[in-house]
Amino acid sequence: MVAERTALINQVRAVLLERGIVVPQGKRALDQYLRSLTDESGEPPSQSHAKIRTSQAIWES
């Protein structure tokens, strides 16, 4: 379970890195980044971020 969560988090970080967004390692850093996206507008800014939020829901379950 932990290995799957770690793999998913690393995949999300890789997708963000491809778009020029560097997020430090770790679940907490990624959680903070994703929260910062919705704090400003209340909604993720793009379809990519919506998919990332879906991934986040999976690793939090």
- Tens of each residue's pLDDT in the chain, 61 residues: 788 888 988 988 998 898 888 999 988 998 888 888 765 666 555 666 677 777 777 777 6
Burial category of 5 from C-beta neighbours within 10 Å (exposed 0-12, middle 13-18, buried 19 and up): middle
pTM: 0.64
**One-character DSSP codes across 20-43:** T----SSHHHHHHHHHHHHHHHSS
Reported residue count of the chain is 61
